[in-house]
Amino acid sequence: MSAGRSGAEILAQQLDEHGVTHFFMVPAVLRRTMMALELQTSIARIHAHGEKAAAYMADGYARATGRPGVCGAQVVGALNLAAGLRDAWLAHSPVIALTGGRHPSTKFKNVYQEVDDVPAFEPVTKMNATIDQADRIPDMVAQAFRVATTGRPGPVHLQFQGNEAQLDREEVEVDPRVDRRFASVPPFRPRPDEADVRACLALFERSERPVIVAGGGVRASGAGGELRRFAERMGIPVATSLNGRECMPDTHPLSVGVPGAYARSCANEVMRRADFVCFIGSSAGSMTTHSWTAPKPGVSAAQIDLEPSEIGRNYPLDAAIHADARAALEALTALAHDVERGRGEAWRNEVAAIKAGWRDRERAVMASDAVPIRPERLCATLTQVVPDDAIVVVDTGHAGMWMAGYFDLNHTGQSFMRSCGHLGWAFPAGIGAKCGAPNRPVVVFTGDAGLWYHVAELETAVRWGVNLVVVVNNNGAGNQSKRGFDRAYGGEPTARSRELWTYHPVDFAQLASTIGAFAVRVTSPQHLSGAVEQALAAGRPALVDVVTDVEALAPVMEQ
């Protein structure tokens, strides 16, 4: 048992020994801990402009590193922080949120800012708990890391007593608790049952048109290499969800691309022609399967997942494996035979022809010299200039659609992170990703609609020297909403419907430059490559403001 120490000192030591390098927060929370972090550790305290953005930063950090991202807010900002955890919850990202909470002496007395925030965290966390005694800090924080990283990862919330979590200033005679196994994902790799592996392998061997769908679980498991080795050994085409996209570069001959709603039409066509589909680390949800139409209902299916409750949720299964994705793929590869000469060749040729047909149809728009710039041309240009070790962070909505369809990952060293549905996530998440991986280029792709959500964080990136590159598809609108509002107004666009999804034109390059970032505005497609390359080499936060065609709408995937 140690001599008396403050809760702040204990908390700082626990965060440090769990490998945390950044704490994303809005003041004031855990003031004594903030001082202890400075005096006892090298953990950077990143002061953001908004609690929701701080949560997104922690999420981006967690996805880029595989280590829990930590964020915090005082009691009055707790609900904003909870809103920011929603994307981490949907992406199964290990984020630990620390907030202030009510004090027993003032509960129910209308103390300034009193709201019971704890229930708001319940839907978006794996663990939602309060700490009312300083001597409970060691075991509760240790449990937070354990819960955030084990099984299917996810967010955790700890509320410390006191509106600014002043509980941390109390002195206690307890020791920190640290188990480094829970400092990253995954701490454990459950092995599959051999009989289940053989049953799944038999389905691959019997099928004539098999496809693997790799999801975010493959990415979280670090199983991209194992996925490629298994697919190559058996000659099986691989589709990836947006969350699992980096596991199979688009340039790989067995790559099908991204199926679903934010997809390439050729990927959905391949999925619908498959006679056997194996989901690995994918929940087979509506986005990846285009509302369960690709693959078609009734197709022979198998599923491999770390979370047993997800196995068979959306498709009846002919085989199932409960295991870590990497462990399962290693077991499948060990038992698999190399593809026999000619076996599956017709199917692979068919898949290649479907993919080539899509590229032929889209080639003209991807190379378009039109002004304003076509988003397809912008994404195709990013394919050419994004470095081989870059982390690409993508917003939802049209940003996600454009990048799913027209941007290629062309190297196994590239990473791809995308919003699970919250517009504005990408920019602050990119800040967090760059904090977690300072030696890798980080390129954010968002629209002006997305950037407006957290544009103040440009100052945060400049102030803390977070040197990411933000590429803005700036068409002066949130034009993903155009079709819906046109339908609501009788099927034809009108000035009244248009005002519901358009904005006042803004030169974001000028704004970013004023704040202190490197910034360039691009109005001609011929200048795209040079502008992005300049931004990558700038040595400071950079923004590339690309003026694009507001009438360009991402393709709608037909069911």
Compute the distance between CA of residue 159 and CA of residue 136 in angstroms, rounded to an integer: 12
Residue 399 lies in a domain: yes
Percentages helix, strand, coil for the chain (3-state, rounded to 5) are 45, 20, 40
Note whether 26 and 125 are same-domain residues. yes
- The CA-based dihedral angle spanning residues 362, 367, 373, 374, taken in that order and rounded to the nearest 10 degrees: 10
Note whether 375 and 447 are same-domain residues. yes
Q: Where are the beta strands (DSSP E) in 388-541?
A: 391-394, 415-418, 442-447, 469-474, 518-522
Query: 319, 350, 381: which is the final residue of a domain?
Result: 350
Residues of the chain with pLDDT under 70: 1-3, 558-559
- What tokens appear for 389 in the block? 């070790």
Residue 357 lies in a domain: no
Query: What is the domain count for the chain?
Result: 3
Compute the distance between CA of residue 198 and CA of residue 193 in angstroms, rounded to an integer: 9
Q: Which helix (H) or strand (E) holds 558?
A: none
Name which of 315, 304, 150, 309 is nearest 226 in CA terms: 304
Note whether 209 and 272 are same-domain residues. yes
The pTM (predicted TM-score) of the whole model is: 0.97
- What tokens appear for 531 in the block? 């502008």
Note whether 383 and 333 are same-domain residues. no
Name which of 248, 245, 300 is nearest 277 in CA terms: 300
- From residue 535, alpha-carbon distances to 389, 468, 517 in Å are 16, 9, 10
- From residue 417, alpha-carbon distances to 394, 397, 545 in Å are 6, 14, 21
Note whether 333 and 385 are same-domain residues. no
pLDDT at site 557: 76
- From residue 314, alpha-carbon distances to 265, 300, 321, 383 in Å are 22, 13, 15, 34
Residue recorded with tokens 């048109």: 209
Tens digit of each residue's pLDDT (9 = 90 or more) over 456-471: 999 999 999 999 999 9
Note whether 406 and 536 are same-domain residues. yes
pLDDT at site 493: 81
Residue 435 lies in a domain: yes
Q: Using only the alpha carbons of the chain, give its radius of gyration.
A: 24
Q: Which helix (H) or strand (E) holds 133?
A: none
Note whether 234 and 124 are same-domain residues. no
Q: With contact defined as beta carbons under 8 Å apart, do 184 and 153 qualify?
A: no
Residue type, 220: A
Residue 473 lies in a domain: yes
Query: 290, 323, 350: which is the final residue of a domain?
Result: 350
Note whether 267 and 383 are same-domain residues. no
- What tokens appear for 152 in the block? 């299917």
Its sign, for the CA torsion 23, 27, 32, 36, is positive
Residue 111 lies in a domain: yes
Domain containing residue 92: 5-183
Q: With contact defined as beta carbons under 8 Å apart, do 278 and 305 qualify?
A: no
pLDDT at site 112: 84
Q: What is the DSSP letter of 181?
A: G
Note whether 383 and 408 are same-domain residues. yes
- What tokens appear for 275 in the block? 């006679």
Name which of 252, 272, 275 is nearest 263 in CA terms: 272
Residue recorded with tokens 């507001």: 550
Compute the distance between CA of residue 47 and CA of residue 78 in angstroms, rounded to an integer: 15
Residue 556 lies in a domain: no
Q: Which helix (H) or strand (E) holds 214?
A: strand 210-214
- From residue 135, alpha-carbon distances to 15, 142, 187, 381, 422 in Å are 16, 13, 26, 55, 37
Note whether 264 and 334 are same-domain residues. yes
pLDDT at site 495: 86
pLDDT at site 274: 98
Query: 315, 350, 385: which is the final residue of a domain?
Result: 350
Compute the distance between CA of residue 360 and CA of residue 194 in angstroms, rounded to an integer: 44
pLDDT at site 415: 98
Cβ contacts of residue 501 below 8 Å, gap of 6+?
A: 477, 478, 479, 480, 481, 482, 485
Residue 418 lies in a domain: yes
Q: What is the DSSP letter of 183?
A: G
Name which of 142, 14, 159, 6 is nearest 72 in CA terms: 159
Compute the distance between CA of residue 236 and CA of residue 337 in angstroms, rounded to an integer: 12
pLDDT at site 341: 74
CATH assignment at residue 125 = 3.40.50.970
Residue 554 lies in a domain: no
Cβ contacts of residue 406 below 8 Å, gap of 6+?
A: 362, 366, 375, 376, 379, 380, 383
Note whether 168 and 200 are same-domain residues. no
Q: Which helix (H) or strand (E) holds 146?
A: helix 137-149
Spacing of C-alpha 88 from chain mean position: 8
Note whether 69 and 99 are same-domain residues. yes
pLDDT at site 1: 53
